[in-house]
Amino acid sequence: MQQVGPRPDPTGGPSLGTPVARDSLEPVQQHPVFGIRDLEVHFRATSGSGTLRAVDKVSFTVNRGETFGIIGESGSGKSTLARALTCMTRPSRGQVLHAGLDPWGMDKRALRLHRHNYQLIFQNPDSALNPRRTILASVVEPLEISRGRGAPDNRTDALQALERVGLRPEFAERFPHQLSGGQKQRVNIARALILQPYALVCDEIVSALDVSIRAEVLNLLIGIQAELGLTMVFITHDLSVVSHVSDRIAVMYMGQIVELAPAHELRRGPLHPYTRALWSAEPVISAMGMRQNSERVLLNGEIPSLLSPPSGCRFRTRCPQAQDTCSAQVPSWRESGQDHWVACHFA
């Protein structure tokens, strides 16, 4: 059933302005915006044999208005998780619950509309922009799908969205190739926001930008998030970025979350050897300038193949603290301090 017109945010968030077409979610404020339970996403190996578990038994929740950071090396499953969170990829096992409801239980049309509420912004600023369409046409497009072509407020709302991300009206008639990377990423943020989503999943959205532009785009996003009370999942491999924007941070290694804690807690006292190694790789800033951390933890070897992960703890082939138990037993996921979770036998 499609509902058009104003209705309460099922996650209990603020009203985000002019109505757009919505799905049939009922208000269920007591549920987290994302409830992820034993999520697995499998791919068939390109060689034809074997199953690659890009996301493997991942569970966490993201509360309303929270910014949840996810960090991990290349290939750890961050983008696959992002796609599963926004219903672009169907879970192979487990559940992605949105405000307590399973979107994959909806019919096709309801699911298509439902996706508007959980927007994904990609790393590549060009990925969502049609090079042959003007910026205005690109920003209006989601509204046309949602409200219908020619709805009276489409153009005004698109111009307002562009203004909100710091782009003056003259940008509206330009084409993507006439914009810088940072400006294109602003357009992508406007495109995502125009559907008044409950949650935004940002997958490495500043990684492809010049360092000088990154802070501008990040600060813009932080401002919008605070203003709208948006729920955000922020994925990056950049420690300084994830610490800057997140309330809590999950650390991913080979498709699994190995540590999860409030951002300040993780910075102050990382428990998992992998998190400690990531943190120690961050340059130290002092009065003498920037230098490498003298306590840097160097990891052995390469990340093993996801097609044949190591037995026991997946990190054991690279862990400086590995012992015999680590290959025999999978470490349990346990709470080690308040809201601080870790999967390591010796953390």
Q: Which residues bind Mg ion (CB under 5 A)?
A: 78-79
Under the binding rule (CB under 6 A), the answer on residue 273 touching ligand SF4 is yes
As to burial, measured by CB atoms within 10 angstroms (0-12 exposed, 13-18 middle, 19+ buried), residue 13 is buried
Tokens representing 196 are 């008044």
Nearer to ligand ATP, 64 or 214 (CB): 214
Nearer to ligand ATP, 46 or 294 (CB): 46
Q: Pick from 209, 257, 228, 216: which is nearest to 69 by CA?
A: 257
CB of 45 to ligand ATP, least distance (A): 8
d(CA 38, CA 272): 21
The binder of ligand ATP chosen from 79, 117, 225, 246 (CB under 6 A): 79
CB of 204 to ligand ATP, least distance (A): 6
| Element at 217 (helix H, strand E) | helix 211-228
CB 39 within 8 A of CB 112: no
Under the binding rule (CB under 6 A), the answer on residue 306 touching ligand ATP is yes
Give long-range contacts, CB 8 A cutoff, 24+ apart: 272-280.
272/315, 272/342, 272/343, 272/344, 272/347, 273/297, 273/315, 273/319, 273/320, 273/321, 273/344, 273/347, 274/299, 274/315, 274/318, 274/319, 275/251, 277/320, 278/71, 278/239, 278/251, 279/239
CB of 324 to ligand SF4, least distance (A): 10
CB of 237 to Mg ion, least distance (A): 8
Under the binding rule (CB under 6 A), the answer on residue 346 touching ligand ATP is no
Within positions 277 to 336, which residues make up the interface with ligand SF4, using CB under 6 A? 313, 315-316, 319, 321-322, 326, 331
Under the binding rule (CB under 6 A), the answer on residue 125 touching ligand ATP is no
Q: How far apart are the first and last CA of the chain?
A: 49
CB of 94 to ligand ATP, least distance (A): 16
Nearer to ligand SF4, 184 or 276 (CB): 276
The binder of ligand ATP chosen from 30, 47, 49, 74 (CB under 6 A): 74
Q: Which residues bind ligand SF4 (CB under 6 A)?
A: 272-273, 313, 315-316, 319, 321-322, 326, 331, 344-346
